[in-house]
Amino acid sequence: MTELKQTIAAMMLALTLSAIFCRILIPILHKFKFGQQIRALGPQEHLKKQGTPTMGGIAFIAATVLACLPFLRVKFLPILFALVGNAFVGGLDDYLKIKRHSSDGLSPKQKLLGQFVVAAILLVCLCLRDPLPEWGSLRLPILADYKINISYVFIPFFFFCMLGTENGANMTDGLDGLCSMVTIVIMAFFLAASFIYGEGLGVAGGAFIGALVGFLLFNAYPAKLFMGDTGSLAIGGFVAMYAIIMHMPLYILIVAFIYVIELVSTIIQVQYFRHTGGKRFFRMAPIHHHYEKGGWSEVRIVTVFSVVTLVLACICLLPIL
């Protein structure tokens, strides 16, 4: 069975499993009252979403892992560990929010610590496989035939990449279908690049895309199920680790620009608020709420952000074709 056939098989299996798991999860989460807690300070339109089942990321995470098992390779393991490890951190955050009936779960420091521990374990595993200077050899976006070697600077860069991507994905998860749709486009780029460079990661990428599509059937507007931090942190971990294994983490800055701008807009808003005595730089952060406050519908924002991601993915893909 060729890799392309295996990838398609894994994608279809993950899609089917994810859809089935979502269908099963929704009534279970309702029964145990695992509903989303909506911030009172957020857009008023979101108050109607109070109580929508959360932690739905469990569905596409389980579907991804199970769809990879029939075609499992050693190089999939760090990617799957990044997925599951960050899901555990996000799941604990979601559980505390539900238990406290509040939008506050883990503190930012506790959440970052959990992400850091998962990233540290992954870095050790990578170093056991290949020396750091080899991991520090990175493909340059647009300049497809060129690489830079950051050698041991790769250590801080690795943590910056992992935590930045995870929290960027986490910030992107604020509208129905937004994080799911944007990530599907991002992973379509990395899946294509995997085949072009012969990295042998097609099955893992295909399974993840299929699982997200299955989840999107229930997460698109109006969402019947939210992924929660369980899903968004797992998504960021998977994307970051997939890119790192391919020596393409620098591409995240362009292809995953939506992650970047969502995270940066939040940082700008917080710092501007602190240094100006309560003034706001954006109407609301992350930036998707800025547009929502400006009158854009959720569907329009998801569509525009997805199209922007698609255009950027095509710009990065053309030079390596």
Q: What DSSP string runs through 12-77? A: HHHHHHHHHHHHHHHHHHHHTT-BPPPPTTS-GGGGGGTT-B--THHHHHHHHHHHHGGG--GGGH
Residue 210 belongs to some domain of the structure: yes
The tally of domains found in the chain comes to 1
Q: How far is CA 241 from CA 42, 93, 126, 238, in A?
A: 32, 22, 10, 5
| Nearest-angstrom CA–CA distance, 214 and 12 | 9
**pLDDT tens, residue by residue, 25-83:** 999 998 888 877 666 556 656 667 777 999 999 999 999 999 999 999 999 999 999 99
Residue 263 belongs to some domain of the structure: no
Residue 320 belongs to some domain of the structure: no
Residue 257 belongs to some domain of the structure: no
Query: What pLDDT score was predicted for residue 162?
Result: 98
Query: What pLDDT score was predicted for residue 239?
Result: 98
Query: What pLDDT score was predicted for residue 100?
Result: 84
Residue 278 belongs to some domain of the structure: no
Query: What pLDDT score was predicted for residue 46?
Result: 66
Residue 23 belongs to some domain of the structure: yes
Tell whether omega for the bond before 131 is within 30 degrees of 0, i.e. cis: no
pTM above 0.85, yes or no: yes
- Closest of 191, 205, 184, 237 to residue 73, by C-alpha: 205
Boundaries of domain holding 46: 3-250
Query: What pLDDT score was predicted for residue 146?
Result: 87
Residue 272 belongs to some domain of the structure: no
Residue 284 belongs to some domain of the structure: no
Query: What pLDDT score was predicted for residue 314?
Result: 97
* Below-70 pLDDT ranges, the chain: 1, 37-47
